[in-house]
């Protein structure tokens, strides 16, 4: 109790000498309004997307499935291209090992 | 908001994992070929579905062919140098140049014949259907490639009639 009385006394004696920045009140109210409006209002497009779309019920699972499917499809395409390129490379290495004529002679 | 970022990150990780996994599995056969002693022969074995015995016979033929091929290449190279000397002489003798050219053409023809013989021998080590496929493929990759020039001339007769010389 004694502590509280001491604190009260200090607070009563404390005088604020610094002045508030211009339009301080308006800025505080604007921030309060923004928070009240929820995550959709304001913020970057990513914040809006994360806040409003991804967290929608059911969307997260659709998003994760779609990203996984895209990763698998891209992996399959790139693997196919790599395999095809390596096979061509190896077949040409075989041909070059047994063909005495340089390729330009045949062109 | 925090939860949303985690879902977003999980998606990125899941996509990357899917890509890496499928890529790794999809290229495993090629990695296996590349790690072989002679990747080109390992490829041939896989491509033409050779058994262990067929592959061993084919590898022996390949190993025996390479030094003979190198020797013929060396002879042609010598003939090329001879031609270079004859052509670069102060008064080139056309009769000698003609003979040297004919000799080089004979060497090259012999070289191609030996090569074809090797292809036939290799194809005979394969199952009949694969041997046929091998011959068709190797022909296109080697001596039949020379036909491209003749084909170009055939499809563009104006080239030899002088009608395409206009500027």
Specify the CATH number for the domain of residue B115. 1.20.120.1490
Residue B6 lies in a domain: no
B71 close to A (CB below 8 A): no
Mean local confidence (pLDDT), A53-57: 72
H or E stretch covering A95: helix A59-98
Whether B56 maps to a domain, the answer reads yes
pLDDT value at B105 more than 90: yes
Q: Assess if residue B125 is contained within a domain.
A: yes
- Cα–Cα distances (Å) from A76 to B16, B23, B36, in that order, read 12, 6, 24
Is residue B127 assigned to a domain? Answer: yes
The answer, yes or no, to whether residue B162 has pLDDT greater than 80, is no
Residue B41 covered by a domain: no
What's the token pair of residue B115?
Answer: 């090569």
Instruction: Give pLDDT, residue A107.
Output: 38
Per-residue pLDDT band at A105 (split at 50, 70, 90): very low
Over 50: is that where the pLDDT of B163 sits?
no
Does B124 reside within a domain? yes
Residue % of chain B over a pLDDT of 90: 66
More confident residue, A34 or B128: B128
What length is written for chain A? Answer: 107
Joined tokens for residue B56: 């061993």
Mind spelling out the 3-state secondary structure of chain B? Answer: CHHHHHHHHHHHHHHHHHHHHHHHHHCHHHHHHHCCCCHHHHHHHHHCCCCHHHHHHHHHHHHHHHHHHHHHHHHHHHHHHHHHHHHHCCCCCHHHHHHHHHHHHHHHHHHHHHHHHHHHHHHHCCCHHHHHHHHHHHHHHCHHHHHHHHHHHHHCCHHHHCHHHCC
* pLDDT given at position B152: 53
Does A81 contact chain B (CB < 8 Å)? no
Q: For residue B129, tell me if it sits in a domain.
A: yes
pLDDT at position A72 over 70: yes
Averaged pLDDT for residues A27-44 = 73
Q: Do B111 and A50 touch (CB under 8 A)?
A: no
Beta carbons within 10 angstroms of residue A101's beta carbon: 17
pLDDT score for B28: 94
Which residues of chain B lie closer than 8 angstroms to A68, CB-CB? 14-15, 17-18
Q: What's phi and psi for A14, nearest 5 deg?
A: -75, 125
A35 in reach of chain B (CB within 8 A) = no
Pick the residue with more confidence: B116 or A21? B116
Interval B29-54: pLDDT, tens:
999 999 998 999 999 999 999 999 99
Q: Once rounded to an integer, what is the mean pLDDT over residues B133-143?
A: 90
Q: Is residue B42 part of a domain?
A: no
Residues, chain B = 167
pLDDT for residue A103: 46
Chain B residues touching residue A82 (CB < 8 angstroms): 23, 26-27, 30
Q: How many domains does chain B have?
A: 1
Model pLDDT, residue B154: 57
Q: Is the pLDDT of residue A17 over 90?
A: no
Identify the residue with better confidence: A23 or A54: A23
Confidence grade of residue A104 (pLDDT, cut at 50, 70, 90): very low
Q: Which domain holds residue B86?
A: 49-141
A72 Cα distance to chain centroid: 21
Rounded Cα–Cα distance for residues B159 and B167 (Å): 14
ipTM rounded to 2 decimals: 0.77
Q: Residues 85 to 144 of B: which have CB under 8 A from any A CB?
A: 108, 111-112, 115, 118, 138, 141-143
Give the span between the Cα atoms of B16 and A70, in whole angstroms.
9
Q: Which residue has the tokens 């012999």?
A: B110
Residues of chain B positioned with their CB less than 8 A from the CB of A67: 11-12, 14-15, 18
State how far the Cα of B71 lies from the Cα of B79, in Å rounded to an integer. 13
Span of A52-56, B18-22, B90-94, B149-153 with lowest mean pLDDT: B149-153
């Amino acid at each position: 109790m004694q502590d509280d009385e001491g604190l009260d006394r200090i607070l009563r004696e404390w005088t604020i000498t610094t002045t508030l920045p211009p339009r301080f009140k308006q800025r505080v109210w604007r921030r309060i309004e923004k928070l009240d409006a929820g995550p959709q209002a304001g913020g970057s497009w990513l914040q809006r997307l994360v806040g409003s779309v991804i967290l929608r019920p059911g969307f997260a699972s659709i998003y994760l499935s779609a990203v996984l499917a895209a990763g698998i499809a891209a992996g399959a395409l790139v693997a196919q291209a790599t395999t095809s390129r390596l096979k061509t490379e190896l077949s040409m290495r075989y041909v070059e090992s047994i063909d005495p004529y340089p390729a330009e002679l045949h062109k | 908001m925090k939860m949303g970022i985690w879902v977003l990150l999980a998606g990125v990780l899941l996509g990357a994992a899917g890509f890496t996994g499928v890529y790794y599995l999809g290229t495993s056969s090629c990695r296996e070929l590349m790690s072989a002693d002679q990747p080109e022969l390992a490829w041939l074995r896989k491509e033409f579905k050779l058994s262990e015995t067929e592959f061993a016979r084919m590898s022996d033929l390949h190993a025996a062919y390479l030094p003979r091929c190198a020797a013929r290449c060396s002879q042609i190279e010598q003939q090329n140098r001879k031609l270079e000397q004859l052509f670069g002489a102060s008064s080139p003798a056309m009769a000698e140049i003609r003979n040297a050219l004919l000799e080089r053409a004979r060497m090259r023809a012999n070289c191609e014949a030996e090569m074809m013989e090797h292809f036939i021998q290799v194809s005979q080590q394969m199952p009949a259907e694969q041997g046929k496929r091998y011959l068709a493929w190797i022909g296109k990759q080697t001596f039949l490639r020379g036909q491209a020039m003749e084909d170009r001339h055939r499809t563009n007769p104006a080239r030899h009639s002088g009608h395409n010389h206009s500027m």
